[in-house]
């Protein structure tokens, strides 16, 4: 089976839960309903023809009008990969965790939660991972504005040229 055949098989099995199949993209992908993501992932992992036993990548992307979570799956036994996407509303992005399907999702979902602000329901340890615990906002959002200081430490510095010229005066 290849990626496109897999998308068709999933569409036959899940019907309206598959919202879109994009065959023209560089890496063809399938957009699914957020409520069915765990079900579809488990189906792809357990079906002997697909056997997607590895979640290689999980990425959050902010598109200004929506937030997408991209799942890159790979099947070591069948030697091919598929890409799933869910589209979430920007003001309250919530989706169920796939940590119950692949353990590697744990840290990748923490990263998306931290940097994009997607809440993963049922995640065992949903804490910030890269930014400090008390950091305001989510830095990878397009409308994120960096605060001028953090606990009294300035986040901006004069350009070295301006500083050099000031010293000279």
Partner 1 sequence: MSIRTEEMTLNMGPQHPSTHGVLRFVIKADGEVMREAIPDVGYLHRSIEKIAEKVGYHGFMPYTDRVDYVSAMFTNQGWAMACERLGGIVVPRRGEYCRVIAAEFNRIASHLLSVGTMGMDIGAMTPFTHAIREREMINDLIEELCGARLTFNYMRIGGVGWDLPPGWREKALAYLDHFDPIWEEYNALISYNKIYVERLANVGVISTQDAIDYNLVGPNLRGSGFKWDIRKDIPYSVYPEFDFDVPVGTGEFGTLGDAMDRYMVRIREMRESSKILRQALNRIPDGPVLAKVPRNFKPKAGECQVRVESSRGDMGWYAVSDGSAYPWRVHVRTGSFAAMGMINKLSRGLMIADLVTLIASLDVIAPEIDR
Position 31 contacts partner 1 (CB under 8 A): no
Please tell me whether residue 79 binds partner 1 under the rule CB under 8 A.
yes
Give dist(CA 76, CA 74) in Å, integer.
6
**103 binds partner 1, rule: CB under 8 A:** yes
- 120-149 mask for partner 1 (x: CB under 8 A)? --------xxxxx------xx---------
Least distance (Å) from partner 1 to the CB of residue 66? 13
Alpha helical stretches, state H, the chain = 3-14, 37-46, 105-115, 160-168
* Contacting range for partner 1; rule: CB under 8 A; set: 30-38, 56-64, 147-155, 157-165: 56-64
**How far is Cα 50 from Cα 81, in angstroms, rounded to an integer?**
9
Distance in Å, CB of 82 to partner 1, minimum = 11
Region for residue 48 given its phi and psi (left: phi exceeds 0; alpha: psi -120 to 50; beta: otherwise): alpha
Distance from C-alpha of 137 to C-alpha of 111, rounded to nearest angstrom = 13
Judged by CB, which is closer to partner 1: 102, or 113?
Answer: 102
Find the helix packing angle between 37-46 and 3-14, rounded to 10°: 120
CA dist 161 and 113 (Å) reads 38
**Listed ranges 1-9, 36-44, 52-60, 150-158: which one lies at the site for partner 1 (CB under 8 A):** 52-60
Q: Using CB under 8 A as the criterion, which residues of the chain lie in contact with partner 1 when the complex forms?
A: 25-27, 53-57, 59, 61-62, 70, 72, 76, 79, 83, 102-104, 106-108, 111, 128-132, 139-140
């Amino acid at each position: 089976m290849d990626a496109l055949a897999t998308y068709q098989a999933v569409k036959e099995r899940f019907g309206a839960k598959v919202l879109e199949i994009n065959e023209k993209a560089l890496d063809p992908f399938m957009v699914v309903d957020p409520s069915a993501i765990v079900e579809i992932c488990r189906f792809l992992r357990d079906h002997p023809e697909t056997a997607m036993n590895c979640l290689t990548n999980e990425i959050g992307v902010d598109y200004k009008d929506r937030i997408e979570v991209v799942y890159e799956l790979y099947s070591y036994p069948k030697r091919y990969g598929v890409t799933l996407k869910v589209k979430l509303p920007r003001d309250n992005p919530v989706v169920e965790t796939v940590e119950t399907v692949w353990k590697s999702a744990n840290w990748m979902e923490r990263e998306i939660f931290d940097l994009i602000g997607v809440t993963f329901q049922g995640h065992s340890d949903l804490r910030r991972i890269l930014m400090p615990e008390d950091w305001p906002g989510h830095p990878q959002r397009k409308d994120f504005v960096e605060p001028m200081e953090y606990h009294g430490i300035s986040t901006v510095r004069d350009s070295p040229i301006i500083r050099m010229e000031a010293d000279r005066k």
